[in-house]
Amino acid sequence: MAKCANCGFDEWAYLDEVSEVLIMFRALDRGPILAPRFMGFDGKTEARHMSYARTLIECVKPWAKLKPDDYDSHRKMMPAYRRMLSKWRKAGDRHKLTRKEAASIVAAAPRASAQMSRSDRTAYRSTRVLNRELS
């Protein structure tokens, strides 16, 4: 994987971005609040991201828990994931998020949580209410 001399396409950029998204979701999964599940990528417009995510999740044990029901989210997810990443990068300890940091990351992409199952959404909402009460 290298940058193409003719067109400038950079495979490393895709791999870095996908691995960073997965690391962030793993940190959120271990965090102090119920966070949205990793929903995959759009198969039409984010196919390379989706392919790398599938390979990394299937081959790297710590990420196996992030496996979505379907890697194809059927809508663009990178804009939401990038907003979440910008908040995650500002966290003090990215792997041990505080309640406030985790809530800030999740709030950066409300559409990502909209794809949760009904039971996940109910639990997520009740956790958000609890988080507000604890703040």
Q: How many CA atoms lie within 13 A of 40 on its CB side?
A: 20
User: pTM to 2 decimals?
Assistant: 0.77
Both tokens assigned to 64: 């196996």
The residues, ordered by sequence, that sit 6+ positions from 64 with a Cβ below 8 Å of its Cβ are 57, 58
Residue 119 CB coordination number (10 Å): 8
- All structural domains of the chain, each given as residue ranges with its CATH number in brackets, are 11-134 (1.10.3190.10)
Q: What is the pLDDT of residue 6?
A: 55
Rounded to the nearest 5°, which phi and psi values hold at 110? -65, -25
Q: What string of pLDDT tens digits covers the 135 residues of the chain?
A: 456 555 555 778 889 999 999 999 999 999 888 888 899 999 999 999 999 999 999 998 888 889 998 999 999 999 999 999 999 999 999 999 999 999 999 999 876 655 454 555 555 555 555 555 555
